[in-house]
């Protein structure tokens, strides 16, 4: 199992950030090459489902997930149940002073394909970490677009 963790501070309220995170269909605006949709129970609450498609056109993979913890506006956990992506993920939205929050996103990935998959994932982990950090920065910029002083 491999763990990825990234954090970003966001200049918005806890509720604003939560609402943007669980607007599943809009995640493609800040997560490259990925489209997410609701599959069960509207994608909200324990037992609900969402799925992501990561790829370009027909070349990619499906990442079905089941929500295992739902505590708006603070925490959501999912279990990845697909053939390629297994494990769990969570995001936490912790309030900071002055209508700011710290968003923490974590992934615990179980690589497929035995030892070969574990080796491939070990090589891909630095790229995945960078991609996650950049996606969270892109997410934060939607609340304050443009250059920062």
Q: Tell me the per-residue pLDDT of 65-82, one tens digit each, with 9 for 90 and over.
A: 999 999 999 999 999 999
On the 0-12 / 13-18 / 19+ scale of CB atoms within 10 A, 102 is: middle
Residues paired with residue 87 on neighbouring β-strands, in sequence order: 80, 109
Query: Residue range 87-115: average pLDDT?
Result: 95
| 2 pLDDT above the threshold of 70 | yes
Q: What confidence tier does 112 reach under pLDDT thresholds 50, 70, 90?
A: confident
Share of the chain above pLDDT 70, in %: 97
pTM value surpassing 0.75 = yes
Residue 144: predicted pLDDT: 83
| 108 pLDDT above the threshold of 60 | yes
CATH numeric code, 2-21+65-141: 3.30.530.20
Contacts of residue 88, defined as CB under 8 A and 6 or more positions apart, other chains included, come to 68, 77, 78, 79, 80, 107, 108
**Joined tokens for residue 93:** 């939205």
In contact, 123 and 26? CB cutoff 8 Å? no
Give me the chain's average pLDDT, please.
Answer: 94
3-state class (DSSP) for residue 59: strand
| 146 pLDDT above the threshold of 70 | no
Q: List pLDDT tens digits, range 14-64.
A: 999 999 999 999 999 999 999 999 999 999 999 999 999 999 989 999 999
Share of the chain above pLDDT 90, in %: 84
| 148 pLDDT above the threshold of 80 | no
111-25-68 Cα angle (round to 5): 50
Residue 147: predicted pLDDT: 55
């Amino acid at each position: 199992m491999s763990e990825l963790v990234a954090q970003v501070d966001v200049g918005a309220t806890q509720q604003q950030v939560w609402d943007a995170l669980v607007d599943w269909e809009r995640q493609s605006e800040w997560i490259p090459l990925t489209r997410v949709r609701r599959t069960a129970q509207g994608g909200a609450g324990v037992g609900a489902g969402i799925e992501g498609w990561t790829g370009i056109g027909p070349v990619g993979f499906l990442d079905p997930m089941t929500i295992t913890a739902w505590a708006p506006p603070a925490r959501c956990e999912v279990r990845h149940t697909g053939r390629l992506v297994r494990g769990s993920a969570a995001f936490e939205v912790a309030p900071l002073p002055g209508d700011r929050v710290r968003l923490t996103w974590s992934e615990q990935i179980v690589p497929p394909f035995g030892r070969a998959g574990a080796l491939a994932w070990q090589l891909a982990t630095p790229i995945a970490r960078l991609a996650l950090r950049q996606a969270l920065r892109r997410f934060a910029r939607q609340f304050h677009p443009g250059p920062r002083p």
